[in-house]
């Protein structure tokens, strides 16, 4: 069973190295085409919200998946706090810590 964990780690390591090494080796002389460069710049802008928002807004369990848009849903307020602090360029670590604290506080009050 644990060899499966190592298989996943090996797979992750291989595909990640494949995102780092090829262009460092090949592109020492030629510049990247502008449209490809634009796409590479936009990838994190699409991937990061695609990871984060479903974690906050979609509740999954054995019964299925549903939207969690209620104002009594603590992660929603944590998300608002984190987004606002990060937009104001507050230190990343402090931002995350305050977001976690807000979620913990609201859960304790509920």
Partner 1 sequence: MPSVFVYGTVFGGLAVQAGLRPLEVWGMSVLVFAGASQFVAVPLLAAGAPAAAIVLTTYVINMRHYLMAATLAPSFRAFPRGWLALVAHVINDESFAVAVARRHPPDPWVFIGSAAAVSGAFLAGVAVGTPLGGLVADPARWGLDFAFPAVFLALVALQLRRPADWVVALMAAALAVAIARVLPGTWHIVIAGFVVSALAALVLQPETA
Q: Which of 101, 98, 87 is nearest to 109 (CA)?
A: 101
The interface mask with partner 1, positions 4-23, x = CB under 8 A, is xxxxxxxxxx-xxxxxxxxx
Q: Which of 61, 73, 83, 109 binds partner 1 (CB under 8 A)?
A: 83
Q: What is the dihedral of CA 55, 76, 71, 81, to 10 degrees?
A: 180
Q: Which of 51, 62, 71, 110 binds partner 1 (CB under 8 A)?
A: 51
When asked if residue 73 is in the footprint of partner 1 (CB under 8 A), the reply is: no
When asked if residue 44 is in the footprint of partner 1 (CB under 8 A), the reply is: yes
When asked if residue 71 is in the footprint of partner 1 (CB under 8 A), the reply is: no
When asked if residue 110 is in the footprint of partner 1 (CB under 8 A), the reply is: no
The DSSP call for residue 60 is E
Q: How many CB atoms lie within 10 A of CB 60?
A: 11
How far the first Cα of the chain sits from its last, in Å, is: 39
Q: In the bound complex, what is the minimum distance in angstroms from residue 70's beta carbon to partner 1?
A: 15
Q: In the bound complex, what is the minimum distance in angstroms from residue 71's beta carbon to partner 1?
A: 16
- Asked if residue 103 lies in contact with residue 75, where contact means CB atoms within 8 angstroms, the answer is yes
């Amino acid at each position: 069973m644990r060899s499966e964990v190592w298989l996943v780690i090996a797979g992750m390591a291989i595909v990640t190295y494949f995102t780092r090494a090829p262009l460092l080796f090949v592109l020492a002389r030629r510049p990247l085409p502008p449209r490809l460069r634009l796409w590479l710049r936009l990838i994190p802008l699409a991937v990061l919200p695609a990871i984060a928002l479903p974690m906050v807004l979609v509740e999954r369990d054995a019964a299925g998946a549903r939207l969690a848009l209620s104002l009594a849903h603590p992660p929603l307020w944590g998300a608002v706090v984190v987004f606002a602090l990060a937009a104001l360029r507050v230190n990343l670590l402090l931002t995350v810590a305050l977001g976690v604290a807000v979620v913990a506080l609201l859960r304790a009050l509920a």
